[in-house]
Amino acid sequence: MSERLWNILTEGFTRMLVPGLTVTIPLTVLGFSLAFVIAVAVALVQFAKVPVLKQVSRLYIWIFRGTPLLVQLYVIYYGLGQVGLRLSPFVAGVLTLGINEGAYCAESVRSALESIPVGQLEAGECVGMTWWQTIRRIILPQAMRTAFPPLGNSLIAMLKDTSLVSSITLAEMFMASKRLVGRYYEPMALYLEVAVFYLFFSTILTLLERWGEKKLNTYEYK
């Protein structure tokens, strides 16, 4: 490795790490938090078979699972801006990632809810619980154990999908690497370096997922 390349990689370390910690990670956390709220709401609507809302939920899932995330980013950032609703790149990124991933997570949560025996609902009614109390105290806690691994995978996928937000001018980690490539023209080294950063963050999330899954399983058998 030449001294020039070493200096470029050293500079790239800081220039990628800072936006990674201040933009990429917050973007992932906020986007997934929104996705989780949407997923639970949409899954419960389908599980409860609420008229009209169930059809609206299926339409939402169909649209956002069937169109590219990049197109959705452009529609929300550039399209809404054209009709007067101007969002900052960060807000547009969080909103798009949350809505997009919410469609995928909703199916994970719905399948987890439907895996719970129907007798659990009937048991809740027998002891005087309302439908919502039964869902909140009995059904959802069990369903979340089943849905936890696929939701963890969705979180890791979202971390990597944040690289697409650079296309709407948000200065996140991948944007920092592209700027360095444009300055020094060392695409192989710099793109491999940013890939290592994504791998590092993904590994941390994977370890947290395994820890959380272990805790849930331990709690289940107490």
Q: Of 171, 166, 172, 165, whose CA–CA distance to 201 is shortest?
A: 172
> Which segments of the chain have a pLDDT < 70?
1, 219-222
Burial 120-140 (b: 16+ CB within 10 A, else e): ebeebeeeebeeeebbeebbb
Region 3-220: CATH code? 1.10.3720.10
Instruction: Give pLDDT, residue 73.
Output: 95
Q: Any idea where the domains of the chain sit in the sequence?
A: 3-220
Helices vs. strands in the chain: H and E counts, helices first = 11, 0
Q: What is the pTM of this model?
A: 0.90
What is the enclosing helix (H) or strand (E) of 181?
Answer: helix 173-184
Query: What span, in angstroms and rounded, lies between the C-alpha atoms of 75 and 179?
Result: 25
Report the largest interatomic distance among the alpha carbons of the chain, rounded to a whole angstrom: 74
Q: What is the pLDDT of residue 219?
A: 58
